[in-house]
Structure 1
């Protein structure tokens, strides 16, 4: 009986290492078909899962309460599994170089508890070569075993889109790869248990690693183009959104929008690719140009806010500005690598007072990562300006009278409204006399 059959017959277990926005849904999905151990070093997170609480809001409390996943922070439990999935974060350092500490630590943990005949599959986003050149040597050292002989390794890039209820693990084609034909076949069969959209067998681990980083690099470049267009059209006094609607009537026009680009994928993956390229002597031109544009958008928004405050005859120093939304994307509690913090920091450089509200964000995480405390949206009053930074569903429901309550009781021409995501009716606010601006 092969490993796949043993998993199918509940003879051996699957483990998922890293139970965040990616790992937890994977563990829950596999638990419907197999015995699953969900491991994370964060004891507080494990305690929440054990209580039936989903802090990521990816699958919901009810599903966590009823799942058969064995949540644990005891690494020795990993010895009960033969198929290990590593789904830990791979962020970048402050100098934009890859930070592989989590994936290296996870490799050491798995290596210490690896048994013969196991398969280790990495899902963390990395540059081509990391799995074979960095992770496998760690596994071999910690386990005192030989890859390809005592255990096998593969790579299957995560494609989960946090906060997206339509594009889920089960509905997105899964790219899989293995170090040889045998491991590739087993990995493909195991993932096919839960991915109804099917699997695609990449010809090598490096091909699978490269596919992941270019998926998000492509999106980053396209959004950077939109952001650059926004800057250009702003100087021409042309509404970018109106231009994109007109251009979008052509069948092959790619429908991207300007905005803040943060998170763990689009705002990070391009740096992994360009880092490896530079190690090989090639200096990126297009990819890094796009990154520079996107990284500067927070400051660009604040510069235009200041211009609008001056036009509105509002003193810039000590102006009170509400920021609606702090997470890196809509309808997701994750605040890590959010670009809204760039807006907050830029406002402080002008001695502007930011008041931040986000009913979706992880409160504890925002406090720990940024020292940010949120205000209740209903309590926001006496503002000189309002910035809608994230298009959470709660903000999509805001009416004109809801926005009006947030401002000081002054003439509308002295009110500045910055609508980054273009979710409001521009004409309604401009006709009312507001100083309305959007990307």
Structure 2
């Protein structure tokens, strides 16, 4: 084939792809029947939210209350557009506040390297291929929760938001709407989104370990197999041949952030999948603004900080949120397991009954007998034409496909539970 023929073919294909993109991504004019976004569901900025009477008590029962969302907006991903849905009751009073953010989402971000390589070739001709302007309801740092004073108010707020959200999305030229990473306990509350055309798929789950034991040794003896107990004991004996490693519980970590933050970056760089990237300001703000729910565990060896674990508490559960390790010594000292042991020991001594952990690093959690704690994504395209196609594709795009180890957990089926 002559070079000019190749050029013509490439140009023609490129124009065809652009035509498909313009046709399929064109915003439809038809709106949902009965959707009245202006009277019961409004969109406000953070500044306007200061006048909302509901906001100071929003998410009060969760570890990530309204203060957490403010910290996230102030310190993480400044390129996101942070906004808030305010949902009003029949009297016009705000009863629910639901944070959201807008970004350009790459639908292939969680796929394997081969899929991304194929997509990169396509994107030479179609730069916007599977990249969509996306509205995400929830939290930009971890799982989301649905606000409301009680379950009836949450269900009513969800119903009103489900009926109005597509009108708001189209007004903002959104292509994809995602209810991002909501725990499975919200499935009854969010069933109205399924009725509104959303598809539910699992996100990478958190994990939970019941720690109703007298001590960490008691947990090992009663919960773990003998081979795993023996391996853990050999792991901890490594510490006996090294300078002592001491743990401390810190409040405001601002004075030591210069030592802590590089350890977080080391863990972040080694991760195969990346979520939100924290900033030093985020870590400092948590200790300063939410001291009642934040716990910073710090490990030192010979006076040098070699590990930290940011945890948050809620009721009788402690949540391991983020960890930082000095890999110059972390593997030799098995610091991950040291951190787990010491935090669980502290939690048991202080009356906590559950140890929860964020997504990823599933292999050690599997061997330590964690159970999966499912979180869900609810996804819909704003185009009535594309949405049925997207619903068919989602099972092939959802992130748990990249973690085959999840199938080994005894409650794996709960990720897809349709009941």
TM-score, normalised with respect to structure 2: 0.28
| Structure having the larger proportion of residues in strand | 2
TM-score, normalising length: structure 1: 0.27
Q: Which has the higher contact order (CA 8 A, sep 6+)?
A: 2
